[in-house]
Amino acid sequence: MTDEMPVTLEGVSYLYGKGALSKQILYDINAAIQAGEIVILTGPSGSGKTTLLTLMGALRSAQQGSVKVLGHELNRARDRTLVRVRRQIGYIFQSHNLLESLTIGQNVQMGLKLDPAGGRNARQRIADVLDRVGLGEHIHKHPGQLSGGQKQRAGIARALVNRPRIILADEPTASLDKQSGRDVVELIQELAREDGAAVVLVTHDNRILDIADRILHLEDGHMKPLGEAVAEGASRMLNLLGKHEPGTASYLAAFSFALARVAHADDVVTDSERAQMRRILHDVAHLETSEVEFIMELSMMQHRAHDSSGMGAEHNALLAERQDHFVESLFTIAGADGEVDDVEVAEIRRIAAEFGLQHSRFAGN
């Protein structure tokens, strides 16, 4: 039981409505979430991520597939089972959802539910968990007297007071400003780590994605590889930049290109070197922190391309086919204007040599 995955999804499909009016929201979702893992579920609105979360939370039942949570199969489960599973899950809601008529302490007490173990030391547990989220002194206040961030922290305390093995959070930062949002997810991360709980967090707030151990990306009800999502998102944003601020776009592109050439020339980039680069870009080139990060990431991308551990040795077996595709596509691109001339072939050879790529076409010459 203990080594079982807290959440296992197999071939899960979900439809809203019935008959001709039904609309499929999720298609054949497979996923497993381990204990102690923080999984972020992202995707545009309407992609079905919240529906997936409610399936894991025993709040809905899928029409097809299997949803196993804490050892219980939830599909076609009885209400009693659903309620029992819900009690073992900590929920963190988009807008805290605290009970306005209760004090913070009482709200957290509601999180203890009907736990018989709660009884005697319930008070202590409530006080402890409020201390952990930094609301110890607000235990007797009502939600109306707290700020948005404090309310969300109280909601987290309520979700955690029962020591759940699974924490489900739906857009916990949506109603918060940048700093409070950051504080809240870091708090969730820290507390979940301490308790060894699995966390599934739904968000489309890109600023908090870095706390995840794993990112599941949903689009129109399909689980998508992260690479696709990132490529699509990044290219769309770069396109936008090129269209609206072409000057900035070329400036940043040039910087990153130059940076990749200059700084990564010796093929070894240490952390201290990177810190140095960041400082220089900020102080000398007068770039904003976010722009510095952007340039760094772009140059790192180029650097990664040269890194032998990327396309090269390590995943050779897996990537042999990709290498073929890569070189083949370069030849095709070169031939798009009618013929492949020598200059183009020479350039392709140079690139292949640089990246250490093998191809049958090179064998002849």
Tokens of residue 324, six digits: 């073929």
Cβ proximity to another protein: between 40 and 277 the closer is: 40
Which pairing describes strands 64-69 and 38-42: parallel, antiparallel, or unpaired? Answer: unpaired
- Residue at token pair 């439809």: 15
Per CB under 8 A, the segment of 32-40, 55-63, 338-346, 348-356 that binds another protein is 55-63
74-103 binders of another protein (CB under 8 A): 83-89, 91, 93-94, 97, 99-102
Among 166, 294, 225, which residue's Cα sits nearest to residue 43? 225
Neighbours of 328 (CB within 10 A): 13
Report the helix count and the strand count for the chain, using DSSP H and E: 14, 10
Cβ proximity to another protein: between 25 and 330 the closer is: 25
116-145 binders of another protein (CB under 8 A): 118, 120, 122-123, 126
Q: Does 106 interact with another protein (rule: CB under 8 A)?
A: yes
Cβ proximity to another protein: between 54 and 66 the closer is: 54
Cβ proximity to another protein: between 30 and 121 the closer is: 121
Cβ proximity to another protein: between 168 and 296 the closer is: 168
- Residue at token pair 């220089």: 280
**Least distance in Å: CB of 126 to another protein?**
7
**Least distance in Å: CB of 321 to another protein?**
42
CA contacts within 13 A on the Cβ side of 145: 11
Q: Vertex 318, ends 312 and 324: CA angle to 5°?
A: 70
Cα→Cα distances 186→33, 49, 158, 192, Å: 20, 21, 17, 10
Radius of gyration of the chain from its Cα atoms, rounded to whole angstroms: 26
Q: Does 54 interact with another protein (rule: CB under 8 A)?
A: yes
**Least distance in Å: CB of 305 to another protein?**
41
Per CB under 8 A, the segment of 114-122, 176-184, 250-258, 336-344 that binds another protein is 114-122
Q: Does 14 interact with another protein (rule: CB under 8 A)?
A: no
Among 331, 312, 314, which residue's Cα sits nearest to residue 323? 312
- List interacting residues with another protein (CB under 8 A): 50, 53-54, 57, 59-60, 83-89, 91, 93-94, 97, 99-102, 106, 109-114, 118, 120, 122-123, 126, 170
